[in-house]
Amino acid sequence: MNLVIVESPTKANTIQKFLGSDYKVLSSFGHIRDLPKNELGVDVENDFTPRYVIPPKAKKTLSALKKEIKKDTKTILATDEDREGEAIAWHLSEVLKLEKPERIVFHEITKTAIKEAIQNPRSINMDLVDAQQARRILDRIVGYKLSPFLWKKVAKGLSAGRVQSVTVRLVVEREREIEKFVPQEYWTIEALFKKENNEFKTTLVKKDEKPIDKLDIKSKKEADEIVSDLEGAQYKVINIEKKETKKNPFPPLTTSTLQQEAWKRLRYPAKFTMKIAQDLYEEGHITYHRTDSVNLSKTALFSAKKFIEENYGENYWSGYLRQYKSKGRTQEAHEAIRPTYAENAPEKLKLDDKHLKIYKLIWQRFIACQMAQAIFDATTIDVDAKNYGFRTTGQILKFDGFLKIYPMKFTEEQLPDLEKNEVLKLVKILPDQHFTEPSARYNEATLIKALEQNGIGRPSTYAPILSTIQERNYIEKNEQRRFKPTEIGFVVNDLLVEHFPEVVDVDFTAKMEKELDEVAEGKDTLVKTCKDFYTPFSKNLKEKYKEVSKSDITDKPTDKVCPKCGSPLIEKLGRFGRFYACSKFPECKYTESLPENNLGIKCPKCNKGKIVEKRTKRGKIFYACNQFPKCEFALWDKPINENCPKCDSPLVEKAKNIKCSNKECDYRLTKNKDVR
C-alpha cells in the first residue's frame, strides 16, 4: 500500500479520486506538532533550538497515521509547496520516524499534475524548513518576550508581534498624517461651450504659455481676476488631436492582488477570501493560492488561447502568449493563481454564491490577461482665449477586447465635431473652489498593498496579520470600513516606537524578510538570523523593564472620588479603552465607565443602571447595563433613548434603520417611515 499524507481532508478526498485503490490518502489536519502554548519553547542559549510538542487535538490523528505505516508501506508526503507545507512534511517525517519519505509537490490538484508529481519525488528541502522555523522562532521570541512587557507596562491581554506591530504603525502614522493635515484652498476654472445641441466643458490649463498647476489659483480673488480678464474674449479652437489609445489587461492574480481585488469588488476581508480560495484549491478548481508569482505555464497559456478563440473569436486573443514578469523576490517556478481548466467558465461549476464569486474573479482575470487590448478613440481639443489656454479630452470605446469579460470603470465622452480655428460659443465661465484632502485611511486592499510595497511579511501572512490586529483591538473599522487606530493602538505603538524602534521599523522588518528568503535559498542560516536579532533585542528589553514606568503611560489623575471607599479615582487605560478605577486597587476593585461610554439610557430591564458601551475580549463592541453582574441586559446593536411603539422594547440603530431589539417584534423605521 502507498500512503499519501496531505494536510487537509478536502485535499485528501480530491487526490484520492485521482490515485485509485493502490493509494490511500490521509490528512494530518494541519501541523502535527508545534511550539508549546504557554512557554517560549525556544532554547535561546543553545542555538535557538525549538522544543516541539504534539497538541492534544493532533494526538488522535497521529495515532491513526501510525497505524497505517507498516514495514512495506511507501509513505509520500504531499503537503503544500510553500515553506509551511515543507515544514509540515518535515514534522510528519520526524514524528512518524520515516526513514526515506518521498516528498512531492504540485501547483494544481488535477490528475495529470498528481501523476506527474508521483513520478518525480524529491527529498524534504531543509532550507525551506529552516526558513519556516526561523520565522516561527523570531515571531515566538517577539511575542513571548515583548508581550509580557506590554502586560506589565500598559495592560493585561496585549500582544506584540514582529509583523503585526509594524502593520499597526502604518495605520497609526497614516492617522497622525490625517490629524495634522491642513487643507489648502485652490480653484479651477472651466469654460462651458455649446455647439448645436451639444454642451461640453474645457478646463483652464495655461496662462501666458505657462502651465497652470493644480494649486496655482489659490483664492476666490485670483479666480475672479481671471474671470474678469476673460470678459469679451474670443474662444478659438487652435488644435484638435485624434488618436487611438490602447489599454492592456492586468496580470493574473497573486495572493496579494486576489485579496485586494476581492475587497475592492466584493468587500470580502482578506481572511475570508483566503478561506474561500483554500476551498477552491483543495477541490481542484484553482491552482495554489499562496503565491507572489505572475508566471503562467505554457499549458495554461495555450488553454486560454483556445478558449478565447473558440468562445469570443480570434480577434479577441492577444495574438501572442502574453507572459508577465514578477517584481522583487519571487518564486518564478511557481505560477500565478488561475483556474485549473480554462474551459471551466464560472457558469459551468456548481458552487455556492461566495465560492463562485471568488472563482469568477480568478477565472476572469486569467482569461482576460491573454485577451486583446481594449481600444479607445481619444480626442484632445485645445482652445485659446486671449493669453489663456483651455483643454478638454474625450474618449469612445472602439473595441472592448479584454473588457468583454473583465469589466472596469471608464468614462466615455463624445465631443462635438469641431474644426481648427473654429470660434466657439461660450455659455458661461465656471470657477470652482476646492480644498486639498489628506491621504485616505487604509482599507483592506490599500493596507495589503502597503505591506507588499514595504516588504512587510509575505502574501500568506497578510490575512492573519489584519485579523490579529483587529482582534487585539489595536485598529478598528469605521463606518466607511477603513482602518483607524484605537486609543490602545496609539499607546502601544508609541511605546514600541520609542523604546523598541527596531521591532517596528519598516526597513528593518523588510530586511529580515529578505534574510528569511536567504535561509530558504541556503544562503544564510537559521542560527545566525535568529542571533542577529535576539542579541541586541534581549539587551534592550532588560534595560526597558527598569526604565519604563506604567503610571507614566496609562494613568491620569481625576477629581472624582470612589463611591465605595472614598479614595481618589484615577483614569486608567485597559485593553479596550479608558475607564475609572479606584486608586486603592486591589484592595478596592471599583470601576466605572467614562462619560463618553455612557449612552445616558436607563436600563430597560432593571430600571436602575445605565447602558454603557463595552467590548468583548476580541474587541467587538456591545451595549450592556453598568450594573452587571446584578443585571445581565446586553445588546449587540446600539440602543437609542426610545422604546418600540409596538412592544415597548428598546429601539436600536442598525445600518440605516431603527429596529426593535425584540426578535419577536418586526417593527422598524426606514427613511422616516414606519414599516410594520
Helix 444-453 and helix 459-471, axial crossing angle in degrees, nearest 10: 130
Burial call 353-383: b when 16+ CB within 10 Å, e when fewer: eebbbbbbbbbbbbbbbbbbbbbbbbbebbb
Q: How far apart are the first and last CA of the chain?
A: 66
Q: Which residues pair with 103 in a beta bridge?
A: 77, 122
Which grid coordinates are listed for 384?
485659446
CA dihedral 477, 479, 482, 488 (to 10 degrees): -40
User: What is the C-alpha separation between 38 and 105, in angstroms, rounded?
Assistant: 34
Residues with Cβ < 8 Å from 353, sequence gap 6 or more?
Answer: none
Q: DSSP code of 486? A: -
Residue identified by cell 461566495 is 354
Residue identified by cell 463562485 is 356
CB 164 within 8 A of CB 468: yes
Beta strands in 16-57 (DSSP E): 23-27, 42-43, 49-50
User: What is the C-alpha separation between 31 and 84, in angstroms, rounded?
Assistant: 9
Does 388 qualify as catalytic in the annotation? no
Question: Active site residue: 288, 388, 406, 580, which one?
Answer: 288
Q: What is the CA radius of gyration of the chain?
A: 31
Short-list 524, 236, 261, 243, CA closest to 384: 236
Q: DSSP code of 477? A: E
Helix 298-311 and helix 353-368, axial crossing angle in degrees, nearest 10: 100
Which residues are known catalytic residues?
288
